[in-house]
Structure 1
Amino acid sequence: MQTGLLIILAAGLCAVISGLFGMAGGLVFMGIIASLMSVSAAMVVHGVVQSVSNGSRSTILREYIRWDILGWQLLGALPAIALMIWAAFTPDKAQLFLALGLIPLLLWLPRKLLAGDAEKPAHAVLCGAMVMGLNLSAGVAGPALDFFYVKTTLTRKAIVATKAVTMFASHLVKIAYFGIPLLKLSGVNDLPPIWVLIIAMPVVVLGTKLGTLLLERFSDIGFRKYTRILVTIIGAIYVWRGLVLLDFI
């Protein structure tokens, strides 16, 4: 009961963060649930909750979605899905936390070194491949996705809306990728009771709505600045956690 309530509370809080920044909420939520259950179970729960969060956010901001960008991203995502199915890779907890902690470094890559711009078709294809690959290996791909959007000329609403659709589709794939093998382990998997997910869904929708309303208070410049700072702090905490699990600290 306590674990279930913690998952619900974390889901609502992280939905507010995601609604406000378009990312980071998923990063926080994955860290919390990965500490409570197996990696595969955490991937499924994260996928379910985040698909609801992103789905509701994309619905609220549907008029700002850039469907042309999403089409190019799909072309990059398909081969990434095929590669992950062939490799059948599942990280352990140490690998997961290290990956979660290192992903935010993408936000600090110098523009001249590797400029990502999702409005360019070739970059959008690469974005789709990276996001899908990371989401199926690390469980989170928001910072990588943001790397391709922070440098565009899109407004904050267009960024959040288009990224929400991208992550919604990516999370559905993640649910199937980790969930199907997990369900075959009858009596072994540690998925939470179904009531936890049922209650978490409306909580996530409400949190997303609140975060989207708070989004109105940010300027485009401030939005990008605070996103980088927040995700970097979270990443540093996860790197420390991963090193502890590896007995390096």
Structure 2
Amino acid sequence: MALALIALSFITSLITATFSLGGGTLMVAVLALVFPPAVVVPLHGAIQLGSNAGRALVQRAHVQWGFVLWISLGAVIGTVVGGQFATLLPETLFQIAIGGFVLATTWLPQPKIVGKSPIAQFVGGAVISAVSMVVGATGPLVAIFIKGLADRRQLVATHAMSMTLQNILKIAVFVALGFAFAAMIATGFLGTAIGSRLLVKVPESAFRWGFKIVLTLVALDILREAVF
């Protein structure tokens, strides 16, 4: 199981580095099938730290620090507030929240938000970080605030840096890691390094549909387990 999860960290990091989104959502969906819901969110944050930090490091020249600053300042407040709710939710509600979030971010149209305002970025960072303490993978929500960036490398790099800081805050609120988790962080960085090279080379259409189907099946199984 540990080896399978280490491989999963590599694959999801490669996906995220290539397409900017998706790997974190797949990671949290699979973790929810293996671990108790209360463990999924802090574990997911720890693993994604390796992936996002690696992506931010590889693409560091393209980071737009203005976006990162305001989203991260809001994240400080949101992480603390969201952590209070994360410790109170029953296990069944945890599973429903994770499964429902995966389905919603996979299939529903994303809201149109003007992300250039520092106030909007600050409030968005707070809300998204609070949500991330319950459902884990909020990369698609962070992307809403930076999708106006014209250069895809800037989008990937800025998204990675914002998520890295969010993961650090999340880990600070939750708990320490074991050896297997450290290995998952390392393979997450390796997957990111390779995926970044594929960023402008891999066609998206067929992959996007297959990826949505996989996420849908995993989310439905999470919901089935929670209900039955």
Residues 49 and 164 of structure 2 are in contact (CA less than 8 Å); yes or no, is this contact kept in structure 1? yes
**Structure 1 gaps, min length 5:** 181-190
Residues 40 and 179 of structure 1 are in contact (CA less than 8 Å); yes or no, is this contact kept in structure 2? no
Q: 2:118 aligns with which of 112, 116, 121?
A: 121
**Structure 2 gaps, min length 5:** none
CA change 1:238–1:66 in 2 (3 A) is same
CA change 1:24–1:117 in 2 (3 A) is same
Partner letter of residue 162 of structure 1? T
Identical amino acids, percent of aligned pairs: 21
Partner letter of residue 61 of structure 2? E
Partner letter of residue 236 of structure 1? T
Partner letter of residue 168 of structure 2? L
Partner letter of residue 221 of structure 2? R
Partner of 1:188: none
Rg bigger for which structure?
1
Deviations 1:77-124 (A, max 9, x none): 233223224434445323322222223355x14xxxx52243332332
Worse-superposed segment, 205-214 or 87-96: 87-96
Residues 74 and 125 of structure 1 are in contact (CA less than 8 Å); yes or no, is this contact kept in structure 2? yes
**Match of 2:40, SS?**
helix
* Aligned counterparts of 1:230 and 1:43: Cα–Cα separation in 2: 25
Residues 16 and 208 of structure 1 are in contact (CA less than 8 Å); yes or no, is this contact kept in structure 2? yes
Partner of 1:244: 224
Partner letter of residue 118 of structure 2? P
Partner of 1:205: 189
TM-score by length of 2: 0.84
* Aligned counterparts of 1:34 and 1:127: Cα–Cα separation in 2: 26
Q: How many residues are aligned here?
A: 224
Give the superposition deviation at 1:62: 0.6
| RMSD of aligned Cα (Å) | 2.6
TM-score by length of 1: 0.78
Q: 2:15 aligns with which of 17, 37, 41?
A: 17
Worse-superposed segment, 131-140 or 93-102: 93-102
Give the superposition deviation at 1:55: 0.6
Partner letter of residue 184 of structure 2? A
Give the superposition deviation at 1:38: 1.4
Partner of 1:146: 143
**Match of 1:215, SS?**
coil
For the pair 1:178 / 2:174, whether they are aligned, the reply is yes
Deviations 1:38-76 (A, max 9, x none): 123222322221101111110111110011111121232
